[in-house]
Structure 1
Amino acid sequence: MSTNFFGMKKSGSSGGLNAMVDDNFQYALGPPESGFSIFLAERTKKVHFIRHAEGYHNVATKETGNNDCLLRGSGPAHAHPLYDSRLTPKGIAQAENLRAYLAKRPSGSRSFTAFDLVVVSPLTRTCETALHIFGTPREPGKPAFLGLVDAPEGTPERAAGVKVAPPRFLVREECRERWGHYVCDGRRSIREISAEFPNFDFSELVHDDDVFYADERETDDHCCERAVKFLEWLNKRPEKCIAVVTHSSFLRHLFGQFGENLHNDDMDSLQRLAGNCELRSVVLCSHGNKDGKSIDPLMPPSSAPSTGKRLRKLSFFEWVQCQSGSTSEMKAKRP
């Protein structure tokens, strides 16, 4: 048994894979001593993880040099200006740049990366990122052949007049950011968010209000367990090429559980903190031991109740004080 950097024990059975030409897939599980990994194709699927683009909370932590500006203070979290933070103009440009890159990135028999499904965290910045990268999603319940649109500009498909189907956007709570403590990691009600993002499929969410957010940060162990359950859920999906628009700390807790037996450079590449709007592509392979396992809806752990709607709103003076925090103690990890 080996131990990852979260201190969690796991089996040492991972190895590198560089066998999918033009798709830049690098990571998989397998015996490390051979230098190769071989899997049955039917047990694999391509998953493209994308961290959200730059949000106003990212700018605030860079300007102040720490995360203190993300604390709710004496007011309720939802009243803080950075609660469920949105994308900056720079963030929107980052997402549009990734859209242009994906339009010309080969995948399978197409000249651009074609996705069967886009899974999105319910926070506003991930919904915005998904919309700017992938465009308007296909209406929930509509079959692909009834939702055909023009292919991306600059592709042979567009020049030939070939229509393509935009992917569905399915919102899942499991891939949201590590919750609690920082106001940027709470979300608005689904009633409010869904009105802003039509055609996103929110049907699999259980809670309208954010019952997960609290002053206490979600534990490392719980976030790691949640990340693995998300992989189990992905594995049960019928789609073979999936994009996941999510968050840096969630990805750190997910990827930090894999890769100890990879080449050092590959392990570092897999486990390092993701940048804004960074694309990290993997091959997910099921070993079959969890294929029949039922997956319950994500529920909040039995701990302190949500503080998202308590107490009074921050005064302007308190907000200015929050924004002018010390820059002398930069934290290594930012939300």
Structure 2
Amino acid sequence: MPPVLHCVRHAQGFHNLSVENHVLQDPLLTPFGEEQCRALRANFPYHADIELIVASPLRRTIYTALHSFANIIQEKGLTVIALPEIQETSDVPCDTGSDLVDLKKEVEKKGLPVDLSLVPEDWNDKTTERWSANAKSVTVRAREARQWLKARPEKHIAVVSHGGVLHYISEDWQDSTLYQVTKKQPSPNNYANGRPSPKWPGTGWANTEFRTFHFTDSADTDDLYCNKIDGDNASIRETPDSRKRRGKTVAEPPSREMQKEFFLQAIAGWETQTAEALAADRTTGEKERAMEIMQKQPIPTAE
């Protein structure tokens, strides 16, 4: 039987503090982000079930996993597996990971229980088709991640990733409206694809929010673009309990056909925002100020 996935968005990083901080490459967690990890550790109800922890190789996701699941990492002797397919989607500096050689040095120097064996040298080169920020490339990577997870023997897996790519992994685009903010509250009794507030622009996931998914019994043979794919899409659906936990009054997620509509709406907004970001001129001074803020904070250690 395929595993149950408990997907988690990373805690607050320095890039979450302001748009200007998006010039930081692979930023760390803020002190408040570390507090969020401690709160997640205290409130996550499935610690006893978790048999495997997987994280994006970016530092904010690695440290979110290490902090949030510190107890079971120690008690069960678990190692966080870094999976490059679940890295964040864009190619802006804050969503671009560190070079593998630097990650290895950090892991070895601090003795972190992190397995980097699945991370290739070019994992952070987003000029390549394989790791491109192109939505179709991200769609392929997300499907490969689901296929890898579905084939695992463990029964419960924690997946620590990012607000953007978690929509691709889950294929749940309800309420996402990526990079579009409205103060209009969506109806709780329908599937309106509107954002309830400007609190989490760019994603429908809050920092350290977790949702639980089961693999579906159906073998979908197309993606959300309606393109035919080779093999099983390894589709997942959020559980009714998980939806209830985050305030959804409709137990079942929207149908796959509705998700296709939501996806295309979201991607249109995504591409517009990406173009605006590329057109923006970040000065050297802005980058230096952002780096100064982050460097004043100690590098997190595993608890």
TM-score by length of 1: 0.53
Could you tell me which residue of structure 2 aligns to residue 191 of structure 1? Answer: 101
Could you tell me which residue of structure 2 aligns to residue 239 of structure 1? Answer: 154
Could you tell me which residue of structure 1 aligns to residue 120 of structure 2? Answer: 206
- CA distance change for structure 1 residues 95 and 322 in 2, over 3 Å: closer, same or farther? closer
Could you tell me which residue of structure 2 aligns to residue 228 of structure 1? Answer: 143
- CA distance change for structure 1 residues 95 and 268 in 2, over 3 Å: closer, same or farther? farther
Q: Distance in 1 between matches of 2:174 and 2:60?
A: 29
Could you tell me which residue of structure 2 aligns to residue 85 of structure 1? Answer: 27
CA positional deviation for 1:69: 5.0
Could you tell me which residue of structure 2 aligns to residue 133 of structure 1? Answer: 68
* Structure having the higher Rg: 1
- CA distance change for structure 1 residues 293 and 168 in 2, over 3 Å: closer, same or farther? farther
CA deviations 1:260-316 (Å, max 9, x no partner) are 9xx8469989x96101111111112354689x9699xxxxxxxxxxxxxxxxxx975
For this pair of structures, how many residues does the alignment match?
Answer: 210
Whichever structure has more helix as a proportion of its residues is 2
- CA distance change for structure 1 residues 286 and 212 in 2, over 3 Å: closer, same or farther? farther
CA positional deviation for 1:192: 1.6
Give structure 1 stretches of 5+ with no counterpart. Answer: 1-41, 62-67, 72-81, 139-148, 150-163, 296-313, 324-335
CA positional deviation for 1:165: 1.3
- CA distance change for structure 1 residues 136 and 208 in 2, over 3 Å: closer, same or farther? farther
- CA distance change for structure 1 residues 294 and 228 in 2, over 3 Å: closer, same or farther? closer
1:135 aligned partner, one-letter code: A
1:54 aligns with 2:6: no
Could you tell me which residue of structure 1 aligns to residue 227 of structure 2? Answer: none
CA deviations 1:53-107 (Å, max 9, x no partner) are 000000022xxxxxx6525xxxxxxxxxx110110000000011000112xx2x5
Aligned pairs for 1:78-157 within 5 A? 82-102=24-44, 105=45, 107=46, 112-135=47-70
Q: Distance in 2 between matches of 1:321 and 1:293?
A: 48
State the secondary structure of the residue aligned to 1:248.
Answer: coil
Aligned pairs for 1:13-24 within 5 A? none
Q: CA RMSD in A?
A: 3.7
1:70 to 15, 22, 26: 22
Overall identity of the aligned pairs, in %: 27
1:230 aligned partner, one-letter code: A
1:170 aligns with 2:78: no
Pick 1 or 2: higher relative contact order, CA cutoff 8 A, min separation 6: 1
Contact in 1 for aligned 2:8/2:208 (Cα 8 Å): yes
Could you tell me which residue of structure 2 aligns to residue 305 of structure 1? Answer: none
TM-score by length of 2: 0.59
- CA distance change for structure 1 residues 265 and 321 in 2, over 3 Å: closer, same or farther? same
Could you tell me which residue of structure 1 aligns to residue 208 of structure 2? Answer: 277
